[in-house]
Amino acid sequence: MKRRSFIRISSYTAGAWLLSEVIPLNAFAMDSSDTNCFQPNPQIRVCEDGRVILYIIKQEMGQGVITSLPLILAEELDVDPEKIVIEGLPYDAANAGKYNTYASASIKGAYSSFRKAGATARTMLINAAAAEWNVNAEVLKTENSKVVNTLNGQSINYNQLIKRASALPVPENPVLKNPKDFKLIGKSQRRSNIAGIVTGKALYGFDLVLPDMVYAAVVRAPLFYGKVKKWDDSALKQLGPGILQIVEVTQMAGGVDNRNGVAVVATNSWLALRGQQLLKVEWDLGTKGLFDSTEISQQLKQALKTDTAALTYDKKGKSTAFTPLEGANVFRTIYEMPYQAHAAMEPMNCTASYKDGKYEIWGGFQAPGEIAKILPKAFGVATDAVFVNLLPIGGAFGRKEKVDNAAEAMQISKAIGKPVKMIFSRADDTGNDFYRPASYHQISVTADKTGITDWAHQLAVTAFPGKNISHVHHGIGGAVADLIYPVKNYQSAFYPIESPIPIGSWRAIGFSHNVFVAECLIDELAAKFKVDPVEYRLSILRQESDKYVKDRKRLENVLIKCAEAINWNHKPLAKRFRGIACCAYPHAQGYAAHAFEISVAPNNAIKIHKVVCAVDCGLIVDPEGFKSQIEGSLVWSLSATLKDEISLQKGQVQQQSFFDYDVMRLKEMPKFEIVIIPSDEAPGGAGEPAVPSVSPALCNAIFAATGKRVRKLPLKKEGYTMG
Amino acid sequence: MPKYTLLINGATKEVEVPVAMPLLWILRDELNYTGTKYGCGAGVCGSCTVLIDGVAQRSCQLNAQFCQGKKITTIEGLSADGNHPVQQAWAEMSVPQCGYCQSGQIMAATALLNRTPKPTDLQIDEAMSQNICRCGTYYRIRKAIHRASEIATTKKI
Ligand code: FES
Ligand code: FES
């Protein structure tokens, strides 16, 4: 039996994760209103003043975490979700990794733990009431922050039970609600920070203001390995005394990977950005990585021919060699995909304040764990000498796992001895990203209309730093997991080439290219053997396999439901054609299928008549929030499929802003239907599983319409337009 | 530096700023109206949209000189209580994801409804397609504008 002490806390927000409604300066203030609270579990406190405080450590970046997580607690605890106050766990450098938000894992990870936390508190409150009234706990129930005696209707508010409950033993295995009885989970809820957003009060890193703060923008080396030779700031004189200082920023290794540069420090953002434009910096660009995109593409192709694979896999995992498939019956095919940027609407930024050997920083970070791991080392200080205040993120998509922005702001603040907000211009953001890698795939298969015998996938990919393939580009979503279809013999091999520009996680990571390749190839095989593409997939998915593939049934099911929703078994109207593809996203326990109905004019203008997505992500906590993610996934993926590419000239990124890295617009969005598969399985992540199957479904529809295979994305570069 | 008098959300504000400083940064850095967002600074994303005499304009492309004598409305001034029909509809339809683009979306939608109280899908498409949302909230924006139009009509009755 564990003892829980009676805890007196003062609600304290120093360093806490700030809700959008909270003015950031409150970060410094202590709330002195003391109150008695009972804390049956580290994640929650139930207080005498009626508040239920929920401590969460995940970052909000648009995916609705702060709505979904309180709902789970409110459900088990039987309180009004509006009464739940969310506080971020104070940043704790030793446990910073727990704040990381990626891999669509927030809800998945929190679901059982918050349910248990709620059930624990509810059980203890019931036991407290039972003691208070001297009745058997079995006759008591809870509703709306009260314990109710079902025999006589007598009731007592939770907040009157705090003291008594605190003294009780903590149940080891509290009984959870039956999902059948859920009142909140699975019912749509409003996002709890919507009021802040629609009134403009929500504060993002870009909006932060600290007393005495100055502003900075950095002119960065146009090449990742570039160095500053000298600079000339004479043109900045015209901007007047608002330009305060010019500070050199140096590149840091060890996972920071910022660029060398020169910062313009000014009294406001605009002067800093103007100064950045006027500052003339002379660079030593070096001799490394001065490639054009066409050369990168050549290198990728060449690597497959001449290099030995850096890493090979077979069905069992890592293998020792890759054996090319030879013979007349081998079907070989290639696909190529470009670098992609994240282009979140809030450009990168960070505010830092250096004082007495310590750094305090403010910003939106997906991975505070990386801050604790990387920055103190890079700056040669103790782990607790870097303190981070996490702010809501204006779109992350993987980019905000990085800490280059923090390192820049910290260097500048140290140099000038003042708090500084360092902002990226849009061009800085587009040109200094950690990109989705460019990749070139060659797949060789032997197959017939009953199934696939051999599958050999060779993947050449731009790696960083050096030829290091970070874990996000293989393993999960890479060569092992890319193929959910049972095959007799499986092989894959990696051929990394050195990328001139940094790479990083991008929404749906390796799945974004591997699923494209696998799903287009299955479609090619179905066409070759004149089998219906849905039937072909299903018949293979249903085959016995010695390769461990989890939950193939769930994938089958989304495929079937998707086909039904697009009316697959009935012919479309004249000149309309359909394509389908599916994706298993095992580590977020998500399964999705997309189908497109399109027509293609003789001039290659594509008109999308309808898109359907069938998706199974287990139990859904917040259906509207969930659907938002599926809608967002379509918009995201269509941008990449149709329009976007990051290209290089002499190693320099060519794109600057939304005029040359264009994204989908409202009027371009096709009719879209989402079919949610009802499920009692533990909730999976919603942000990524419905990204990968969009591109292959569209490209398969293009094949159905034109007989031409799309081998390379984006479609715009291949001569297709949106009709 | 020249002085300007600006009428923002019904209040008169004096600022002393360089001639070329865009309204966006005057609002954000000088007057602390941070609801208006920077997305591109080049007039291509719409995050910085405000109303100038009721018409949607990109504040990153305007200077103080141009705005003098005109009524400037930012997201903070759209309503006293956050209950403008567009704000209500936005909440009802759960439009925002990360929320960063939404001030601009809401101001553009408000301007559309000012001149076209009952817009068709096509009119919405035309009015809203210069406002980028990277999270992909477009479907909900369309629905919410129809809903806002409904709310506005019932409110008047
Ligand atoms: S910031 Fe003004 S249009 Fe993008
Ligand atoms: S809601 Fe995130 S950019 Fe629009």
- Interval A499-512: pLDDT, tens: 999 999 899 888 88
A487 in any annotated domain: yes
pLDDT score of A13: 24
Residue bearing the CA closest to ligand 2, atom 4? B133
CA–CA separation, B42 and A22 (whole Å): 30
Q: Model-level pTM? A: 0.88
Q: Are residues A703 and A629 in the same domain?
A: yes
- In this structure, what CATH number is given to the domain that contains residue A23? 3.30.365.10
Q: Are residues A304 and A382 in the same domain?
A: no
A203 in any annotated domain: no
Q: Tell me the pLDDT tens digit for each residue of A610-641.
A: 999 999 998 888 888 899 999 999 999 999 99
**Ligand closest to CA B99:** 2
A259 in any annotated domain: yes
A6 in any annotated domain: no
ipTM of the complex: 0.98
Q: Residues of A with CB below 8 A from B18's CB? A: 239-240, 242, 271
For residue A86, pLDDT over 90 is answered with: no
* Torsion sign across C-alpha atoms A113, A115, A116, A117: positive
User: Cβ B25–A270 below 8 Å, yes or no?
Assistant: yes
A206 in any annotated domain: no
Q: Report which of A221, A282, A688, A707 is spatially closest to residue A501, judged by C-alpha positions.
A: A221
**Out of B35, B39, B74, closest to residue A345 by CB:** B39
**A305: containing domain:** 295-339+435-722
Q: Are residues A372 and A469 in the same domain?
A: no
What's the whole-number mean pLDDT along residues A34-63?
70
Return the percent helix, strand and coil in chain B, to nearest 5. Answer: 45, 15, 40
Q: Residues of A with CB below 8 A from B98's CB? A: 61-62, 344-346, 392-396
Share of chain A above pLDDT 90, in %: 62
Confidence of residue B45 (pLDDT cuts 50, 70, 90): very high
Beta strands in A567-625 (DSSP E): 577-585, 590-600, 605-616
Q: Are residues A157 and A59 in the same domain?
A: yes
Q: What is the DSSP letter of A678?
A: P
A583 close to A693: Cβ distance less than 8 angstroms: yes
A209 in any annotated domain: no
pLDDT score of A190: 62
Question: Hunting for tokens 């782990």 — which residue is that?
Answer: A383
Amino acid present at A562: C
Q: Are residues A57 and A126 in the same domain?
A: yes
A403 in any annotated domain: yes
Q: Are residues A80 and A128 in the same domain?
A: yes
Amino acid present at A600: V
Note whether B42 contacts A: Cβ–Cβ < 8 A.
yes
**Out of A61, A63, A658, closest to residue B44 by CB:** A658
Q: How far is CA A639 from CA A48, A644, A658, A691, B75, in A?
A: 51, 6, 11, 11, 28
pLDDT score of A117: 81
Asked which of A403, A423, A443 is the last residue of a domain, the reply is A423
In A65-124, the residues whose Cβ lies within 8 Å of chain B are: none
Q: If you average pLDDT over each of A143-157, A456-470, B42-56, which comes out highest? A: B42-56
Order of strands across the sheet that contains A261-266: A243-249, A261-266, A214-220, A420-423, A349-355, A358-363, A386-390
Pairing of strands A140-143, A146-149: antiparallel
For residue A104, pLDDT over 60 is answered with: no
Asked which of A423, A455, A470 is the last residue of a domain, the reply is A423
pLDDT score of A69: 73
A204 in any annotated domain: no
Q: Are residues A193 and A227 in the same domain?
A: no
Pairing of strands B49-52, B55-58: antiparallel
pLDDT score of A4: 26
Asked which of A168, A198, A228 is the last residue of a domain, the reply is A198
Structural domain count, chain A: 3
**Ligand closest to CA B130:** 1
CA–CA separation, A147 and A552 (whole Å): 44
CA–CA separation, A47 and A364 (whole Å): 30
Beta strands in A489-587 (DSSP E): 489-498, 577-585
For residue A60, pLDDT over 90 is answered with: no
Confidence of residue A538 (pLDDT cuts 50, 70, 90): very high
Q: Tell me the pLDDT tens digit for each residue of A677-722.
A: 998 887 877 889 999 999 999 999 999 999 999 999 999 999 999 9
In B93-132, the residues whose Cβ lies within 8 Å of chain A are: 94, 96-103, 106, 124-126, 128-132
CA–CA separation, A445 and A456 (whole Å): 6
Q: Report which of A72, A121, A65 is spatially closest to residue A88, judged by C-alpha positions.
A: A65
For residue A147, pLDDT over 60 is answered with: yes
Could you give all domains of chain B from N- to C-terminal order, each with its CATH number? 3-77 (3.10.20.30), 85-154 (1.10.150.120)
